[in-house]
Amino acid sequence: MDELRSNYVTFGACAILLIAYGIAGPTLNAGFQDTFADAMAGVLRHGGLMHLSGNILVIYFGGIAAEARLGSARLIALIVICAIAGTLAQYTIVGPQFIGASGISYGLLAYGVMMARPPRDMTIAGIAIAALLVLEWLYLYSSVAVYVHITGALIGGSLAMFESLFGSKHPTLKPMQRTHIARVVAIIAQTDEDDAEEAETGFLEDGVDGMFVLMQKGEVLGVTGYSLDDQVDDVAWLSWTYLDEQYTGQGLGGDMLNDLLGKLKDYGVRKIFMATSDYEEFGRPIYANAHKMYEEFGANIELTVPDYHNIGEAKIVYGLDNPEFEAASPPPPGTETGIAITDIGKEPETMGVMGLRWEERPVGLAGFEFALDKAAGKGARMVVLAIPSDLSDANAVALEAHNFKRCGQLENYYNPALHQVWWVCSLGAKQ
């Protein structure tokens, strides 16, 4: 549904062609067309399902790529111009007996192919498109509306060249589209191939909602995004955030985060957390550049959980208040001070770590011994408990009696006066 809203012009254009074909059926002879108006109406007609399907496929894929870059209004303008100019060229040079939306499809195809290439390779892409058109003119002149194709390709290709030469010279953050997945995965793989594989699977299965790409002249320089917290409505977690290695050290990472915070303000997000780790490969901390970027932007380490992901690999969480968000007064504290454990579950991205699920109770602790024994029976080496700071303060002594140790807290997690405190228990220590 979100993809439909983001690309409604593309889907609308395809739907119009399908509806027109459903009403008029295949047009096997265009001899009835005499005027320019007839030729323009012929844009909605097709000779058969193969003719229709070919144009719709190109319009669909080219339209999604173009709508991500141009926006809906400019894409409508491009479609209309390609349709009118292509029809006018063919009508003037050859006559009105032709049908199909190929002027639109060739315009979007040329724009998409040109913008998918780095600026230095655009000339090669342009030559390839020109060669295709020359072959059509030489061998298919009598069977296709070649001047429609040429005009559409010239308009789409010229727009791409113009944007490359005179478009914004400053990178801008734009919503990520499925057409960006391959480039984004390649950027992530520069740092961590496992993360790249996980990200690609997530994008393909769950979509790219909440993700943004840093674009400059049609080229993806980096990626960032967010996911809303599943407990607190106005808190978000930073999603995959990576910058192409050749663009690091230029302040682009900070610009990318700054733009993201501006967008999150509009979504009512008051704070964003960044979960990372101290993982090393061959003695090199692979997330060092990311940590430096977070710190330069003003984020602080709020929580470190040793041996969380694996023995020797800690969980690190940075926190950053959204400076553009105006916080409301915090709600009054609750009256219940006890904790009852309701379940346990494996913590994501960990080896041998279980998390305790809990609910409030009037007073005291309940279910801890059973939960710890159950976790040990499942082979867990450690359990973690994340609770509000008021419950943590009220039960600190009892938690320590169960061999829990206070690990740290996420500041202002639940509201501007209520933190999330993390406690950990080593099951080896318990036994």
Pair 59, 99 in one domain? yes
Number of compact structural domains in the chain = 3
295 or 327, greater pLDDT:
295
CA angle 91, 97, 98 (to 5 degrees): 85
Residue 415 lies in a domain: yes
Pair 153, 273 in one domain? no
pLDDT at 122 > cutoff 90: no
Residue 328 lies in a domain: no
- Of the chain, the end-to-end C-alpha distance in Å amounts to 51
- Its pTM stands at 0.63
Pair 134, 26 in one domain? yes
Residue in the structure block whose two tokens are 């914004």: 168
Mean of the pLDDT values across residues 74-78?
A: 93
Pair 136, 208 in one domain? no
Q: According to the model, what pLDDT value does residue 282 have?
A: 85
Q: According to the model, what pLDDT value does residue 168 have?
A: 55
Give the domain range for residue 316: 172-321
Q: Last residue of a domain, which of 148, 166, 184?
A: 166
CA-nearest of 347, 306, 329, 295 to 418 is 329
Task: Give 254's Cβ-side CA count (13 Å radius).
Answer: 10
Amino acid at 205: E
Task: Indicate the range of 20-24, 259-263, 370-374 predicted with least confidence.
Answer: 259-263
Residue 351 lies in a domain: yes
Pair 14, 148 in one domain? yes
Residue 247 corresponds to which tokens in the numbers above? 């663009």
Residue 177 lies in a domain: yes
Reported confidence tier of residue 376, pLDDT bands at 50, 70, 90 = very high
Pair 273, 228 in one domain? yes
Mean of the pLDDT values across residues 216-236?
A: 89
The length of the chain, given as a count of residues: 431
Pair 185, 75 in one domain? no
Q: According to the model, what pLDDT value does residue 431 have?
A: 43
Residue 127 lies in a domain: yes
CATH code of the domain covering residue 286:
3.40.630.30
Residue in the structure block whose two tokens are 């005179």: 166
Mean of the pLDDT values across residues 100-106?
A: 95
Residue 143 lies in a domain: yes
Q: According to the model, what pLDDT value does residue 297 have?
A: 82
Residue 57 lies in a domain: yes
Pair 123, 223 in one domain? no
pLDDT at 344 > cutoff 50: yes
Q: Last residue of a domain, which of 295, 321, 347?
A: 321
Cβ-contact 62, 109 below 8 angstroms: yes
Cβ-contact 352, 379 below 8 angstroms: yes
Average pLDDT, the chain: 89
d(CA 230, CA 382): 23
Residue range 269-319, pLDDT digits in tens: 999 999 999 999 888 898 898 898 888 888 999 999 999 999 999 999 999
Q: Last residue of a domain, which of 166, 181, 200?
A: 166
CA-nearest of 265, 388, 286 to 333 is 388
Pair 305, 207 in one domain? yes
Pair 342, 288 in one domain? no
Pair 391, 297 in one domain? no
Pair 156, 192 in one domain? no
CATH code of the domain covering residue 54:
1.20.1540.10
Strand 338-346 to 365-366 pairing: parallel
Q: How far is CA 200 from the centre of its chain?
A: 11
User: What are residue 430's phi and psi, to 5 degrees?
Assistant: -65, -45
Residue 332 lies in a domain: no
Q: According to the model, what pLDDT value does residue 119 have?
A: 65
User: What are residue 304's phi and psi, to 5 degrees?
Assistant: -130, 120
